[in-house]
Amino acid sequence: QVHLVESGGGSVQAGGSLRLSCVATGLFSASNCLAWFRQAPGKEYEGVAGISTQDGTTYYHDSVKGRFTVSQEYAKTTVYLQMSGLKSEDTAMYYCAARAGYGVNSCDPTKNNFDYWGQGTEVTVSS
């Protein structure tokens, strides 16, 4: 059974930084995708960043390119989202998600549905 637990959310002023963490257990595929989504109040879910556990390829939503960095630790069971240059529009609940991933772009959260989700961690950016 896949289980995802996020941590690291909080409140920060615009321009500040936060690092989110997600511990994934129970991943059964030889090739997995781990990703971050977010949902702002009154808005739909949005894929923010994704990473392939197989080869480390990363994917980003255009709105966070150059500001956010997704990475994984060596055992490939923890994924991080380093967020810098935060803006008020980054305020949202952030969710970690996972899916089995094969093929080009299969780990892009802006193009794929993900099967397993964590409970979320809240990020608030004040201007």
Distance CA 97, CA 122 (A): 15
pLDDT in tens, 67-101: 999 999 867 789 999 999 999 999 999 999 999 88
β strands within the chain, DSSP E? 3-7, 10-13, 18-25, 32-39, 45-52, 58-60, 68-72, 78-83, 92-100, 116-117, 121-126
**Which residues on neighbouring strands pair with residue 107, listed in sequence order?**
none
In order of 74, 82, 92, 126, 127, the CA distances from 49 in angstroms are: 18, 10, 14, 22, 23
pLDDT in tens, 13-38: 999 999 999 999 988 777 889 999 99
Q: Which of 76, 70, 75 is nearest to 38 (CA)?
A: 70
pLDDT in tens, 33-65: 999 999 999 999 999 999 998 889 999 999 999
Residue 121 clears pLDDT 80, i.e. is over it: yes
